[in-house]
């Protein structure tokens, strides 16, 4: 028998090895899945959405078995989910726990807000300087226009 507390904890099963991305704001779950390409990998991925969280009201969690991301790869999610927390699991134990970190620059992923920008005319990856403040915005390396947080569009 499980106690009420244990029942709450068991919403998404524990994994043996891999990466658990916790404290994702619920509304951002599918963007995170796209940024990390989790719709295209072949290791087991489980996720839960709209789970109760004391900090966020509703949160999402993603568990990717047998996958350990490069910092550069995983930190991209800080753009849209700066509150996300990474847990590295080895042999069922949490071996490392850290928040995601905003990268200084970001290549690809987002669209430049300027319709006249070369990146919107040519088949080329976008490139931005990340401007951190209360919210994150992106300054285009090519045209200099700033895409504010509310307009960040994942491609
Ligand atoms: N986890 C998992 N598989 C394991 C061990 C842990 O999926 N073998 C998950 C837990 O479900 C939790 C996260 O990894 O979502 C972090 O585990 P832990 O640090 O034990 O949980 P909390 O103390 O709740 O973490 P935090 O304080 O960061 O919320
Ligand atoms: Zn541009």
Render pLDDT for 16-28 as a digit per residue (tens, 0 to 9). 999 999 999 998 9
Give the ligand with the smallest distance to the CA of 125.
2
Half-sphere exposure of 147 (CA within 13 A, CB side): 23
- Cα angle, residue 76 at apex, residues 75 and 82 outer, rounded to 5°: 70
* pLDDT of residue 101 exceeding 90: yes
Q: Same domain for 24 and 95? A: yes
The answer to the question of residue 3 being in a domain is no
- Report the C-alpha gap between 129 and 110 in whole angstroms: 12
pLDDT for 134: 81
pTM of the model: 0.87
Place of tokens 């088949």: 123
pLDDT for 8: 54
Q: Same domain for 120 and 54? A: no
Q: Same domain for 120 and 135? A: yes
- Report the C-alpha gap between 135 and 122 in whole angstroms: 29
Domain interval for residue 137: 105-154
Q: Same domain for 25 and 67? A: yes
Name the residue of 9, 22, 24 to mutate for ligand 1: max ligand atoms within 8 A of Cβ.
Answer: 22
pLDDT for 53: 87
Q: Same domain for 33 and 95? A: yes
The answer to the question of residue 121 being in a domain is yes
> Average pLDDT of 107-134?
95
Contact 32, 21 (CB under 8 A): yes
The answer to the question of residue 126 being in a domain is yes
In the predicted model, what is the mean pLDDT of the chain?
Answer: 91
* pLDDT of residue 5 exceeding 80: no
Domain count, the chain: 2
């Amino acid at each position: 028998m499980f106690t009420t507390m244990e029942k709450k904890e068991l919403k998404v099963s524990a994994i043996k090895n891999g990466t658990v991305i916790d404290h994702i704001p619920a509304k951002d779950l599918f963007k995170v899945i796209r940024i990390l390409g989790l719709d295209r990998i072949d290791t087991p991925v489980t996720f839960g959405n709209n789970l109760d969280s004391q900090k966020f009201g509703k949160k999402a969690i993603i568990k990717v078995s047998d996958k350990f991301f490069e910092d550069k790869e995983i930190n991209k999610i800080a753009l849209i989910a700066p509150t996300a927390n990474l847990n590295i699991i080895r042999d069922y134990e949490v071996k490392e726990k850290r928040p995601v970190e905003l990268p200084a620059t970001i290549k690809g992923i987002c669209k430049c807000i300027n319709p006249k920008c070369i990146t919107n005319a040519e088949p080329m990856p976008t490139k931005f300087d990340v401007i951190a403040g209360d919210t994150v915005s992106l300054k285009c390396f090519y045209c200099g226009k700033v895409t504010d947080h509310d307009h960040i569009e994942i491609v």
